[in-house]
Amino acid sequence: MKAPRAALLLLLALLLVYPLARLLVLPLTGGAGGSLATGWRPWLDSTGFALATGLIAAPLGAWLAQVLETRSGVAVRALGLGLWLLFFMPGYVLTTGWLVVLSHPVLRNGVFGHLFLGPAGLLFLYFLKALPFSVFVARATFAGASATLHEAAMVLRLPMWRRMGLNLRLAMPAMAAAFTIAAIETMQEFGIPATLGVTGKIPVLTYSIYQRLNTTPTDFAGAAQLCWWLIASAALLAVVQIYVQRRYQAVLVHGKARRAPRTRPVGAVRQVLSLGACLLWVVGLAAPLLALASVAVSGNLGVIDLSAIPRSLGYGVLAATITLVIAVAVLKLQRGQHPLFSGIIHAGLTANMAVPGLVLGAGYVVAFNNNILPLYGTVLLLLLAYAAGTLPMAIRLLGGAMAQLDSKLDEAARIFGLPLQTRLIDIEAALLIRPALHGWLLVVGTVMFELPVSELLYVPGQVPLGVAIVSADMTARYNEAALLALLSMGVLALLAAGLNLALYLSHAPRLTGQEAA
């Protein structure tokens, strides 16, 4: 097994470590592009947006997370479903919908239009995309909280302000995690500033990196310097989160923990939740989606090139297959090995999750645009970059399922002399088919709507979906952008529904003739 493990480490190093190292070492070797201080203005703007988004999304996300874990009712279910839909909607599709809304002259030339096409619009869209991350991260804190805390406070007759203070202190670790995730996601967001088109007046880090890579001649060193600013900011935010969590961490889940029953909100709380659910659905989903639907049917639909949809779907299918094969290999080869081997794998994958797609794509441009590895400008490099970006997510999704497989299953199969093909297909694949399908679909959807890596690495003449939508936005062809976005979401939904239905039917119990009668 030493040779397969060595080959696996070499493959991960080639996909993850080598491209980033080649990119980040450029400023340190004295390459052209100036000093690291040249990115201070984009860094200040991005940091301001990230901090503002985190300060708004963290407390609101923690409160919504507590509501989703402790309350029940129609408004609560609507909030949960709306957050999931907003989570899966790409940022540039959301921005496209609002640009369609602002295409009306009255709105565009009014106060709302001037605000939206400036810093306020960026902050608004950043907040919408960061809110689901904040809620989902904070939910883990309240998922297993015991009911004894509230009961003890009521027995001691603590006043309302004391109970609120205790709840706030217990929620501080969740709020710190929500703040960090929201701020990092905001700093790494590329689709929103690229689509909104205000980056000329408000330079942000991600779009500034793209501009340096999209100029002639390409400023690789300047882009690498800005990548250092981005990575250093994410590391600093992570340090702040660790400090807050250690300072305010409390044990909420223990052996005697007893969850409080969910309660239905009444009075003012019910009204606030209903208003929040309405705002989330109207502002975050209905307004942009209905605007996209209305403009999609306008204009001459026969001249719109829809080839980007099957092209990106094919990219997603191939990249997802590559990703799952590598993920299964990683999980199987690290099972039962020395903790150092598993530690190296997990450290590399965790670090790669914090690297934005734009930085990863820039690293692939630098690393594979030479005579030694001349892969730049090929579909293979694009697929490898997609696989590298989604590999940590796939391993996290499959890791829990594979960890539940008892090693004695394989031992028993070996004892009975079952061949390797039977052990892999009829035993392991049959038990892992459901989580593997969900992970595969998630990777397909992620790759299909991926933007920064696609912008940097797509083959000329073979435009991916995200690039086609953003290009249509840039030239005010909103009907084309809307049609591409809606059709692609529909195709992805049909694919997911069809595969899940096929999986359900294949695993449904088969009735005998007597039972059917």
Q: Report which secondary-structure segment, H or E, holds 148.
A: helix 148-155
From residue 89, give the alpha-carbon distance in Å to each of 39, 171, 514.
30, 28, 48
249 shares its domain with 313:
no
Q: Which residues, at least 6 apart from 404, have a Cβ–Cβ distance to it below 8 Å?
A: none
What is the mean pLDDT of the segment spanning 38-65? 86
233 shares its domain with 283:
yes
Domain count, the chain: 2
DSSP 3-state assignment of 1?
coil
39 shares its domain with 112:
yes
What is the mean pLDDT of the segment spanning 355-360? 83
The answer as to whether 516 is a domain residue is no
Instruction: Grade residue 283 by pLDDT with cuts at 50, 70 and 90.
Output: confident
28 has which bridge partners? none
Cα–Cα distance for residue pair 408/412, rounded to 1 Å: 6
Q: Which residues, at least 6 apart from 374, have a Cβ–Cβ distance to it below 8 Å?
A: 368
Cα–Cα distance for residue pair 73/415, rounded to 1 Å: 53
224 shares its domain with 342:
no
Cα dihedral sign, 391-393-395-401: negative
Number of Cα atoms under 13 Å in the Cβ half of residue 432: 26
What is the mean pLDDT of the segment spanning 317-338? 82
pLDDT above 90 for 70: no
Which segment of 1-10, 48-57, 384-393 scores lowest on mean pLDDT?
1-10
Whole-number mean pLDDT of the chain?
Answer: 79
The answer as to whether 517 is a domain residue is no
The answer as to whether 63 is a domain residue is yes
Cα–Cα distance for residue pair 43/57, rounded to 1 Å: 20
196 shares its domain with 217:
yes
Helices (H), 260-378: 267-279, 287-296, 308-333, 339-353, 357-367
Residue type for position 257: A
Using a cut of 0.85, tell me whether the model's pTM lies above it.
no
What is the mean pLDDT of the segment spanning 478-506? 88
Judge whether 391 and 353 are in contact, CB under 8 Å: no
Cα–Cα distance for residue pair 288/124, rounded to 1 Å: 13
38 shares its domain with 25:
no
77 shares its domain with 12:
no
Residue with structure tokens 């696996």? 8
Instruction: Grade residue 36 by pLDDT with cuts at 50, 70 and 90.
Output: very low
The answer as to whether 307 is a domain residue is yes
The answer as to whether 260 is a domain residue is no
The answer as to whether 512 is a domain residue is no
Cα dihedral sign, 151-152-155-157: negative
What pLDDT score was predicted for residue 491?
A: 92
Q: What are phi and psi of 34, to 5 degrees?
A: 90, -170
Question: At 471, which CATH number?
Answer: 1.10.3720.10
The answer as to whether 155 is a domain residue is yes
Query: CB 37: neighbour CB atoms within 10 A?
Result: 9
What pLDDT score was predicted for residue 420?
A: 62
204 shares its domain with 287:
yes
Q: What are phi and psi of 374, to 5 degrees?
A: -85, 65
What pLDDT score was predicted for residue 251?
A: 46
Q: What is the pLDDT of residues 366-412, one digit of tens each?
A: 889 888 888 888 999 999 999 988 888 788 777 766 665 556 666 66
Residue with structure tokens 């070797």? 29
Whose CA is closest to 238, among 188, 171, 189, 176? 176
What pLDDT score was predicted for residue 412?
A: 66
pLDDT above 50 for 289: yes
Residue type for position 502: A
Cα–Cα distance for residue pair 482/292, rounded to 1 Å: 5
What pLDDT score was predicted for residue 384?
A: 93
What pLDDT score was predicted for residue 385?
A: 93
* Two tokens, residue 112: 């709302």
Range of the domain at 153: 32-255+265-296
189 shares its domain with 332:
no
pLDDT above 90 for 478: no
Residue type for position 187: M
What is the mean pLDDT of the segment spanning 238-258? 59
The answer as to whether 511 is a domain residue is no
Q: Which of 26-30, 241-245, 326-330 has the highest mean pLDDT?
A: 326-330
Residue type for position 414: R
Angle at 125 between CA 123 and CA 127, to 5 degrees: 65
What pLDDT score was predicted for residue 254?
A: 44
259 has which bridge partners? 146
Angle at 80 between CA 79 and CA 86, to 5 degrees: 85
Cα–Cα distance for residue pair 196/215, rounded to 1 Å: 20
Instruction: Grade residue 154 by pLDDT with cuts at 50, 70 and 90.
Output: low
Judge whether 158 and 175 are in contact, CB under 8 Å: no
DSSP 358-416: HHHHHHHHHHTBSSSSB-TTSHHHHHHHHHHHHHHHHHHHHHHHHHTS-HHHHHHHHHT
